[in-house]
Amino acid sequence: MGNCNGFIFDQPFKCFFKAYLNPNTSFYLNVIQLILMKKQLLMMSFFMAIGVIAAAQSKSKSKAAPKAKTETKSTASRSNSSSLRAYGKGDNLLNVGIGIGSPFFGSGYSSSLPVNPSVSFEKGITDEISVGGQVAYASSKYNVDLPGSNYSFKQNAFYIGARGSYHFNEIFKLDPKFDVYGGASLGYVIASVSDKDGFNGTTGSGIGFGLFAGGKYYFSNNTSVFAELGYQSLAVLNVGIAFKL
């Protein structure tokens, strides 16, 4: 037989109805206490669960933050490394220079301009090859000594053409501030002649080509000084400043 005055009994249903019909029994009070105790335990369990979840989330965030910070540093490092390269695929290169020693004019000519201006632009199509175009201008004066007189005329030359370069930076593992390249150009020279007596005409126009070797030194991410040496249509040596656009 069970004991309805305690929590250990053999006939739970009979004891329950007995307690229900007689609220003054000690069993009824024990049931109420048990229910209240269960509520307290449930509340304690609920708040403990919230505390555990909050602690777990805080720990997860603290682990993720250094990782994100590390990834940010790594990304910034890669970006800085990329921005410091002297040349790469996709670069837009603008050279503004002056030419010295034009091979276009023959002997007896003296330069009318102290320098021959030139502008070139190239686009990087691979990490080694860039292609583009170039324009240049030169002017010289020719003096003819005749008995009792002196005759002179002026010849102007305008060059427009295409050019391409091969960059050796990766092959030679150069410092990111240096760009070493060699290339070729092909275009057309438009020449004109004029004298002080009012004569104007065109002469000497034709195909212009060149082979050159060059180098750049970047003193900032997008600005450098350059020099190109070789046989080009209107200059043997070109020097100037270059920009990445």
**Residue 218 neighbours by CB under 8 Å, 6+ apart:** 86, 176, 177, 178, 179, 224
Q: Give the pairing type, strands 92-100 and 237-244.
A: antiparallel
Specify if 2 maps to a domain: no
- Same domain for 214 and 130: yes
Can you tell me the distance from the alpha carbon of 119 to that of 134, in angstroms, rounded to the nearest whole number? Answer: 6
- Same domain for 149 and 114: yes
* Residue 180 · residue 174 · CB < 8 Å: yes
DSSP character at residue 147: T
Which tokens belong to 124? 């990087």
Specify if 5 maps to a domain: no
Residue with tokens 């837009």: 92
User: Of 57, 80, 103, which one is at a domain's C-terminal end?
Assistant: 80
Can you tell me the distance from the alpha carbon of 182 to that of 214, in angstroms, rounded to the nearest whole number? Answer: 6
- Same domain for 31 and 125: no
Domain count, the chain: 2
Q: What is the domain range of residue 215? A: 92-244
Specify if 86 maps to a domain: no
Kindly report the CATH number assigned to the domain that includes residue 180. Answer: 2.40.160.20
User: Of 23, 50, 80, which one is at a domain's C-terminal end?
Assistant: 80
pTM over 0.85: no
Three-state DSSP state, 209: strand
Can you tell me the distance from the alpha carbon of 99 to that of 204, in angstroms, rounded to the nearest whole number? Answer: 20
User: Of 49, 80, 111, which one is at a domain's C-terminal end?
Assistant: 80
Question: What is the pLDDT at residue 43?
Answer: 56
Which tokens belong to 41? 């335990």
Specify if 197 maps to a domain: yes
- Same domain for 193 and 113: yes
Mean pLDDT by 10 residues, the chain (245 residues): 45 46 50 51 56 57 49 46 75 94 67 80 96 93 74 86 96 92 95 82 84 95 95 87 96
